[in-house]
Amino acid sequence: MGQSMASMPSSSKNQEEPNAKCTSISSDNGTEGFIPNTKPFSPLVTERFEVVGPADPVFAVAGEDVILPCSVKPNISVVDMRVEWFRLDQKDLQRVHLYEDHEDRNAEQIQSYRGRTKLIHQELQRGNASLKLSSVRVSDEGHYKCLIQSKSWNDDATVDVRVESDCKKSPVITVDGFDRSGGLHLHCESEGWYPEPDLEWLDSEGVRLSLETTEINRNTDRFSVKHTVIIHHSDNKIHCRVKLRHHMLEALIITTKVRVGVGRKKTGSA
């Protein structure tokens, strides 16, 4: 919600309002009188605006650039206003980018954002204060505040940024042999994901198979997943599928009584 930055001017009992006006009224007997209009006249109209951010999270890929949307309604110019971007999920409110007095002022910017943030100054004229964040890092994931402030009004919006890893590797299926009951032990492993992905085994009809064991490891800022399944039937195609949002990688193994063949398939964008 926007907030007014104006304060009421002080007045003196012996001082007349220089811009006071009079309003004509009619009495019951038809005579006219005048009452003073004490509301001071100001040539400046209070700039009230709403800061708008995206309704849904903004998804970014590590290593690429992303735009954090932020604009005002109505689409008035914010060239003469203060535009400030913060991280909200830190212990203290920390500055990501500051635009003030027609220039960027980033002396107090978070160190990890140095040289990676940019406001398109030409877009400020159209009320667009979106922030360009370059070379996205996994640590950039979080909540951001876009604050826009004029001399008499301010408002803000929140942007939820979620980062995906760009180092995803196709799943690899390995065969661990048969157990005493004749069950075939298969392992599926995939590395380089962020955040943690979903891994599932499917038979040739797309039916999900029950997992025997699950192993999840995190190395620095990326996840590796390894799942094991036991197959008690033959002459079938078994799929290992790893999914994260709109990304999906898949590997295929064909089991027969005579041989075991392994193949890989990739769908979606990795």
Residue with tokens 């033959």: 234
pLDDT for res 12? 39
State how far Cα 62 lies from the chain centre. 13
3-state secondary structure of 10: coil
The predicted pLDDT at position 246 comes to 74
pLDDT at 179: 83
Three-state DSSP class for 144? strand
- Alpha helix stretches (DSSP H) within 88-137: 121-124
Cα of first residue to Cα of last residue in the chain, in angstroms, is 39
Four-residue CA torsion sign, 237, 243, 247, 249: negative
Single pTM value for the model:
0.61
Closest by CA position to 157, among listed 265, 209, 83, 267: 83
> Side chain identity at 231, as an amino acid letter?
I
SS3 category, 167: coil
Give the pLDDT confidence score for residue 147 in this predicted structure: 97
Q: Are 52 and 70 in contact (CB under 8 A)?
A: yes
Answer with the residue of higher pLDDT: 113 or 3: 113
C-alpha distances out from residue 2 to 48, 50, 64, 153, 216, Å? 8, 7, 33, 7, 45
Is pLDDT above 70 for 79? Answer: yes
Q: Is 69 helix (H, G, I), strand (E, B) or coil?
A: coil
Q: What is the pLDDT of residue 1?
A: 62
DSSP for 101-158 reads TTEE--TTS-GGGTTTEEE-HHHHTTTB--EEE-S--GGG-EEEEEEEE-SSEEEEEE
207-248 confidence digits (pLDDT tens): 888 877 778 888 766 788 889 988 877 657 899 999 887 778
Mean pLDDT, residues 253-257 taken together: 75
Instruction: Read off the pLDDT of residues 155-174 as tens digits, 9 standing for 90 and up.
Output: 999 999 999 877 778 899 99
Query: What type of residue sits at position 29?
Result: N
- Return d(Cα 52, Cα 113) in angstroms, integer: 23
Mean pLDDT estimate for the chain: 80
Can you tell me the distance from the alpha carbon of 26 to that of 63, in angstroms, rounded to the nearest whole number?
74
Rounded distance between C-alpha atoms, residue 99 and residue 106, angstroms: 8
Tell me the per-residue pLDDT of 89-140, one tens digit each, with 9 for 90 and over. Answer: 877 778 999 999 999 999 999 999 999 999 999 999 999 999 999 999 989 9
Per-residue pLDDT reduced to its tens digit, 15-33: 444 444 434 444 444 444 4
Record the tokens describing residue 221, joined without a space.
């800022």
Q: What is the DSSP letter of 221?
A: T
At 4, the pLDDT band (50, 70, 90 cuts) reads low
Is pLDDT at 65 greater than 90 in this prediction?
Answer: yes
Residue 82 banded pLDDT, cuts 50, 70, 90:
very high
Percent of the chain scored above 70 by pLDDT? 75
Alpha helices in the chain (DSSP H): 121-124
Helix/strand/coil percent split, the chain, to 5: 5, 50, 45
Top-confidence range, 41-55, 121-135, 172-186: 121-135
User: What whole-number distance in Å separates Cα of residue 143 and Cα of residue 203?
Assistant: 40
**Confidence category of residue 38, pLDDT binned at 50, 70, 90:** very low
Distances (CA, A) of 140 to 15, 53, 120, 217: 57, 18, 20, 21
Q: What percent of the chain has pLDDT over 90?
A: 44
CA distance 7 to 13: 19
